[in-house]
Amino acid sequence: MNSDAFPLHQDWALWEPFPPAFLFFAGAILLALMQGPYRHRLQQIVLVLTPLVGLVNLLGLDAGSSFTWTVLHFELDQLRVDRLSMLFGLLFHVGALLAVIYALKVRDTFQHVAALAYAGSALGAVFAGDLISLFFYWEGMALSSAFLVWAGRSPDANAAGLRYLGLHLLSGLLLLAGAVIHSQTTGQIAFDFLGTETVAGGLILLAFGIKCGFPLLHTWITDAYPQSTPSGTVFLSMFTTKVAVYALARGFPGTDVLIPIGTIMALFPIFYAVIENDLRRVLGYSMINQIGFMVVGVGIGTELALNGAVAHAFNEVLFKGLLFMTMGAVLLKVRHVLGSDLGGLYRSMPLTTAFCVVGAASISAFPLFNGFVSKSMIMAAMIEQGHTWGWLALLFASAGVFHHAGIKIPYFAFFGHDSGLRVNEAPRNMLFAMGIAAGLCILTGSWPALLYGLLPWEAGYLPYTYPHVIVQVQLLLFSALAFAWLKLSGVYPAELRSVNLDADWLYRRLGLRLSVAAVGAFDYTSRVVSRPLRVNARLALERVFGPGSLLTRSAETGTAALLVGVMLAGYLLIYYVIT
């Protein structure tokens, strides 16, 4: 990793730099304590100031900054500053700033407190230098983000939040178990390269995998994200999965198994996204697909691939956050984001439409938009390392992304068949946040040196070459052509109100039924087998020990002496045999 100072570092020494998480926790506590008629206005000030002051603090950090706690005999490192943690720290501050601006008009203390605590936990995890601190921030993220899901305040949100929390607590437990075993076997708790050769490494990889949305462990994303509030989902989309990518890049770079896992993640969600009706769930599937690219990058493990993975994480916060913001604006105004019942909203929400198109172009990796400059790094690294089939699969996934996120989202929400819905444009604060996010998508896409200069590893890459641009344009235009032809010919699947079974069926239906069956079987066993057995056993014991039974009957003294004699003889015999 590049050991130079972070390029944006400022030597302003306004105060002794402290862990960025603390400021967000302080902000959350302050928000919770606010009372009185000006509470909402004051909360707005705290919400905006927290990431801004946080940025000033962050840019003052350098490799010499440290903050440790000694708990028992463990040194808990709260401030590990290097190029990787600083890049994610910057990303989370920018993401938090965009999200709080977007949420500025929300009058819900519960949500704001959860959001700042969540952002703080994510920052804590990124700067944690040891596995124990990482575990605490990991669980902090799980709990605070579950509250953001519950902020949806519907029965569906409550149920999805519980399922979400269950999986994330499981992730935390696996991380704790791995950390304990790692500490026992190596005597170290530092969070550095772990690898999968040890049991501890395997457990921790699984813990990261849940947060990352590995195949079969991914359903919390598509289950919970569509249930939160418009702004809640924007927060949710920015932190958890990116912390997981950071953790993988820190603990498992070059781990081969991540390449097939990431490829599967990039591939399977695009099929679901094509048939999904809830547009925020489509974005959830799209998120798994994009994280798949990052996981592949971490798995390849070369400097170019790792830079590509973290650069794509950076860009994804911007363009996926932007897309969730646009869908949140639609949800706010129309009350739903079902593709089957939307269409023609460009008339009412022209600016939101324009921002959505920028987000769609960015996620599709159009030249001049930020997805192009990071995704191509991963693709280039993959082919450099000779992963031909994986590369072909990722190219397929790239075309698929354009299909479902680049075209489907804007088309079904804002264009297509006019649903007749006439609403007001999104509030100004939301438009402002979307505008900044869209501007950053274009800025980093058109001027990649801005982003490349911040990357942790030294690997030069030139995205804007004549062949690169032409082949990408070919890929995207012919994908668009396929969409147009399939749509005109009626082959493209219509948007339908439905539920599509996914891996969560295993616990929401099969697991539930197995649990009910197990309870029934236990009940049956208890009634038919255990109870008669218990009754018979009690009767048998009563026959031996009960009143007037064999052992409580009075006997002659001689008989008792004879019994004792027999017992002693038996004991001597056994003793003789054993010795």
Partner 1 sequence: MDIRAQKRSGNAHEDRPPFWVTRRGARIALIALHIAAAIAVLIEIVRPFPQDAHAVERVHALEFPASYAVYGFIACVVLVLLGRVLRRLVMRDGDYYGDGGR
Q: Which is nearer to partner 1, 49 or 480 (CB)?
A: 480
Taking the complex as a whole, the smallest distance from the CB of residue 155 to partner 1 amounts, in Å, to: 6
The owner of tokens 């950071």 is 246
Taking the complex as a whole, the smallest distance from the CB of residue 531 to partner 1 amounts, in Å, to: 33
> Are the beta carbons of 404 and 267 closer than 8 angstroms?
no
Taking the complex as a whole, the smallest distance from the CB of residue 307 to partner 1 amounts, in Å, to: 16
Q: Which is nearer to partner 1, 249 or 270 (CB)?
A: 270
Q: Which is nearer to partner 1, 169 or 469 (CB)?
A: 469
Residue 458 token pair = 């030294």
> Are the beta carbons of 166 and 172 closer than 8 angstroms?
no
Q: Which is nearer to partner 1, 248 or 399 (CB)?
A: 399
What's the Cα-to-Cα distance from 171 to each of 139, 204, 446, 505, rounded to whole Å? 9, 8, 38, 19
How far is it, in rounded angstroms, from Cα 289 to Cα 270? 7
**Exposed/middle/buried for residue 465 (C-beta within 10 Å: 0-12, 13-18, 19+):** exposed
Taking the complex as a whole, the smallest distance from the CB of residue 417 to partner 1 amounts, in Å, to: 11
204 conformational bin, left if phi > 0, alpha if psi -120 to 50, beta if neither: alpha
Tell me 526's DSSP state.
Answer: I
Q: Which is nearer to partner 1, 501 or 541 (CB)?
A: 501
Helices 230-251 and 303-334 cross at an angle (nearest 10°) of 170
Task: List CB contacts of 577: < 8 A, sequence separation 6 or more.
Answer: none
How far is it, in rounded angstroms, from Cα 261 to Cα 246? 16
Among 118, 113, 98, smallest CA distance to 439 is for 98
Taking the complex as a whole, the smallest distance from the CB of residue 273 to partner 1 amounts, in Å, to: 9
Taking the complex as a whole, the smallest distance from the CB of residue 233 to partner 1 amounts, in Å, to: 15
Q: Which is nearer to partner 1, 420 or 547 (CB)?
A: 420
Q: Which residues bind partner 1 (CB under 8 A)?
A: 154-156, 159, 270-272, 274-275, 332-335, 346-347, 376, 379-380, 383, 388, 391-392, 395-396, 399-400, 403, 415, 418-424, 427, 465-468, 470-484, 486, 491-493, 496-502, 508-509
Task: List CB contacts of 138: < 8 A, sequence separation 6 or more.
Answer: 121, 125, 171, 172, 175, 207, 211, 243
Strand partners, 338: 278
Q: Which is nearer to partner 1, 174 or 476 (CB)?
A: 476
Q: Which is nearer to partner 1, 188 or 498 (CB)?
A: 498
Q: Tell me which amino acid residue 59 is.
A: L
CA 495, chain centre distance (Å):
27
Residue 514 token pair = 């197995």
CA 263, chain centre distance (Å):
18
Q: Which is nearer to partner 1, 99 or 318 (CB)?
A: 99
Which helix (H) or strand (E) is 245 found in, with range?
helix 230-251
How far is it, in rounded angstroms, from Cα 225 to Cα 318? 17
Taking the complex as a whole, the smallest distance from the CB of residue 499 to partner 1 amounts, in Å, to: 4
Taking the complex as a whole, the smallest distance from the CB of residue 106 to partner 1 amounts, in Å, to: 9
Residue 399 token pair = 């075309």
Taking the complex as a whole, the smallest distance from the CB of residue 372 to partner 1 amounts, in Å, to: 13
Among 286, 433, 242, smallest CA distance to 355 is for 433
Q: Which is nearer to partner 1, 145 or 472 (CB)?
A: 472
Tell me 198's DSSP state.
Answer: S
Taking the complex as a whole, the smallest distance from the CB of residue 82 to partner 1 amounts, in Å, to: 30
Q: Which is nearer to partner 1, 321 or 400 (CB)?
A: 400
Taking the complex as a whole, the smallest distance from the CB of residue 443 to partner 1 amounts, in Å, to: 25
Q: Which is nearer to partner 1, 181 or 267 (CB)?
A: 267
> Are the beta carbons of 368 and 446 closer than 8 angstroms?
yes
Among 138, 143, 149, 150, smallest CA distance to 178 is for 138
How far is it, in rounded angstroms, from Cα 235 to Cα 137? 16
Taking the complex as a whole, the smallest distance from the CB of residue 258 to partner 1 amounts, in Å, to: 20
